[in-house]
Amino acid sequence: AVPVALVAGLSRAAHFGVLIKGAKPLEALARITTLILDKTGTLTDGRPQIVSIDRHGDMSEDEILYFAAALDQASKHPIAQAIVGAAQARGIALPIPASVLEMPGEGVTGIIEGRRVVVGGTGFVAAQLGMAKAESAVVEAGSVVVSLGVDGKLAGHIVMADALRAGTAELLSGLRDLGVGRILLATGDRRAVAEAVTAGLGLDAVRADLTPDQKVLLVLTERKNGPVMMVGDGVNDAPALAAADIGVAMGARGAAASAEAADVVLLVDQLDRLLPGIEIAQRSRRIAL
Ligand code: ADP
Ligand code: MG
């Protein structure tokens, strides 16, 4: 039977919007020493604003947004949803693509009005277009950049700003006080963006350009040094959440796949709920022992 203190802990955590899927994860949560954070939608608030649209061919800004958003309707990625929202805010009516294929964490390809369209990260789109690398003045340090390709050619870039969640520095120092001595970032995004957004946070390591498989590998490597908690929101994070001692999903706006793979689901879109979650787990464990 599960000790009463643990049951009480589960219900107290639920009050804070922290869904812990049983007594075992509650106990494991109390012992975490390493934290790996996803970037987009986890460390950042995942409501990016468009900063500029950089045209590369003869398409207008609105046409670039039209094709990018039409395809990104198929994706729950926070960057994709921001692009769809921006197009709607400009009053652009979006067509339904004839076919779509999403590569989680990378982008989407499909057919719109008979044209072959690809939208996603600069590296992904460049690879789809058979280009060595998306070279452009706007692929600047620190900004999230989404590229658009149409009929085999680069049509443009959408430059976006995705801010760190408020109170992140305080959250990380609070976690260190609770015994989480090692904190890392793991992102599918580019290194320049990862470093710009985490500057000043004092992270122990920043890993960028990671595929979902490489996120899993990072989790398994870190587990050799102690119990690892991985926090993420995307479909691309689900395997890494499953590989961690404790997987935590940003449940309020994250992908269903990540919530299913996780041991803990944050039911509100607030990363700082990790603090009461771990505090309650540590207290419940002391009482139960
Ligand atoms: P993280 O691992 O930090 O959450 P992702 O790997 O999910 O980041 O996303 C990295 C980058 O890939 C984004 O900044 C964006 O440029 C691009 N991206 C991924 N999926 C999409 C999509 N559906 N539409 C547009 N861009 C995308
Ligand atoms: Mg993410």
Domain that holds residue 127: 49-161
Q: How many Å lie between the centroid of ligand 2 and the Cα of residue 181?
A: 23
Q: Which pLDDT value is given to residue 118? A: 98
Q: In what order do the strands lie in the sheet with 107-112?
A: 49-55, 153-161, 144-150, 115-121, 107-112, 99-103
Q: Which pLDDT value is given to residue 97? A: 95
Which residue owns the Cα nearest ligand 1 atom 10? 189
Q: How many Å lie between the centroid of ligand 1 and the Cα of residue 182?
A: 25
Q: Which pLDDT value is given to residue 288? A: 78
ipTM of the complex: 0.95
Q: Decide: 168 in ligand 1 pocket, CB within 6 A.
A: no
CA distances from 137 to 76, 141, 193 (A): 28, 10, 15
Claim to verify: residue 180 and residue 205 sit in the same structural domain: yes
- CA 89, 90, 91: angle at the middle one, nearest 5? 90
Given the residues 38, 189, 233, 245, select the one marked as catalytic.
38
Claim to verify: residue 235 and residue 130 sit in the same structural domain: no
Is the CB of residue 209 less than 8 Å from the CB of residue 192? no
Domain boundary among 127, 161, 195: 161
The tokens describing 35, both together, are: 């934290």
Claim to verify: residue 59 and residue 108 sit in the same structural domain: yes
Q: Which atom of ligand 1 is nearest to the CA of 233?
A: 4
Is the CB of residue 276 less than 8 Å from the CB of residue 268? no
- Give the ligand with the smallest distance to the CA of 187: 1
pTM: 0.93
> Please, what are the averages of pLDDT over each run of 10 residues along the chain (289 residues)?
87 97 96 97 93 94 98 94 96 96 94 97 93 65 90 96 95 98 96 94 97 97 98 95 98 92 97 98 88
Q: Which pLDDT value is given to residue 134? A: 57
Which residue owns the Cα nearest ligand 1 atom 27? 120
Claim to verify: residue 257 and residue 114 sit in the same structural domain: no
Identify the CATH number of the domain in which residue 179 sits.
3.40.50.1000
- Is 38 a known active-site residue? yes
Q: Decide: 121 in ligand 1 pocket, CB within 6 A.
A: yes
- Give the ligand with the smallest distance to the CA of 258: 2
Claim to verify: residue 78 and residue 179 sit in the same structural domain: no
Residues 29, 30, 34, 36, CA torsion sign:
positive
Claim to verify: residue 138 and residue 63 sit in the same structural domain: yes
- Give the ligand with the smallest distance to the CA of 186: 1
The tokens describing 124, both together, are: 């992904």
Claim to verify: residue 24 and residue 73 sit in the same structural domain: no
Q: How many Å lie between the centroid of ligand 2 and the Cα of residue 235?
A: 8
Domain boundary among 133, 161, 189: 161
- CA 127, 129, 133: angle at the middle one, nearest 5? 50
Domain boundary among 120, 138, 161: 161
Q: Position 171: which residue type?
A: L
Q: How many Å lie between the centroid of ligand 2 and the Cα of residue 239?
A: 13
Q: Which pLDDT value is given to residue 141? A: 67
Claim to verify: residue 136 and residue 91 sit in the same structural domain: yes
Q: Which atom of ligand 1 is nearest to the CA of 106?
A: 19
Claim to verify: residue 127 and residue 184 sit in the same structural domain: no
Number of domains observed in the structure of the chain: 2
Claim to verify: residue 275 and residue 169 sit in the same structural domain: yes
Q: Which pLDDT value is given to residue 5? A: 86
4 C-beta neighbours (distance < 10 Å), count: 11
Q: Which pLDDT value is given to residue 186? A: 98
Identify the CATH number of the domain in which residue 120 sits.
3.40.1110.10
